[in-house]
Homo-oligomer: A and B are copies of this chain.
C-alpha cells in the first residue's frame, strides 16, 4: 500500500507542521495572542485547513500541553539516578521550578491555563493522565522517603500534594505577575530564598 501510506504520512506531516507553527508562535507571543489565523498564515495555508487536522483550537493546545509534559518528564527522568529519595525529592523541586521558569508559556499551558482541559471535557475523559503520571513520580519518591523512615506521621499522598502545591504556587504566582512589589525583592532573590526554605522544610520534616 505505497500510496495510502504516503497519504497518511502527508497527513501526519501537515499535522506536525501545524503543531510546530502553533508552538513557535505560542512561545513568541504567548497563548492569548496566538490565533488560528496566525498559525494558518505562518504555514501558508487557509485557516479552514487547520480544522481538517484538528477538531478545534483546544485540541491543538492540549497536544502542545502534552508535548510540555514529555519534555518535563525527560528532565525529571534523569533524577532516577539519585538513589537517596530525600535528595531526589529536593532535586525534583529544583528541576520543577527551573522548568517552569525557563518555559513559562509551556508551564502556563500545562498547569494554569483553562484551554487544554476543555479538550478532556469534550472527550468525556475524567482522568488527566499527564498530570497523574507526573504526580506519581513525586508521590512514589515521597513514599520511598517514608519507607526509609522519614516524614514520620505524614500520609504520602497528602504530603505529596502539599509539596506539589508549594512549588506550583511559587511559579504560578510569578508567572501570573503576583510577585511584583512583594517584600521589595527581585524574582531572583525571592526564588533563591523560597527554594532554600523549601529544602530546609523538607529536611526538617
A-to-B contact residues, CB < 8 Å: 32, 111-114, 117, 120, 126-129, 131-132, 135, 139, 153-155, 157-162, 164-170, 172-173, 176-178, 180-183, 185, 190, 193-194, 196-198, 200-201, 204-205
A32 to B115 Cα, complex, angstroms: 11
Main secondary structure of the interface of A (DSSP, over half): helix
Known contacts A159-B197, A161-B194, A169-B165; A178 and B32 CB within 8 A of each other: no
Known contacts A201-B162, A205-B201; A183 and B112 CB within 8 A of each other: no
A126 to B182 Cα, complex, angstroms: 11
Contacting residue for A170 out of B32, B117, B161, B197, CB 8 A = B161
User: Which residues of chain B are near A180, meaning CB under 8 Å?
Assistant: 120, 126-128, 131
Pairs across A and B, CB under 8 Å, 7 listed: A111-B173, A113-B176, A126-B180, A131-B182, A157-B183, A168-B169, A172-B172
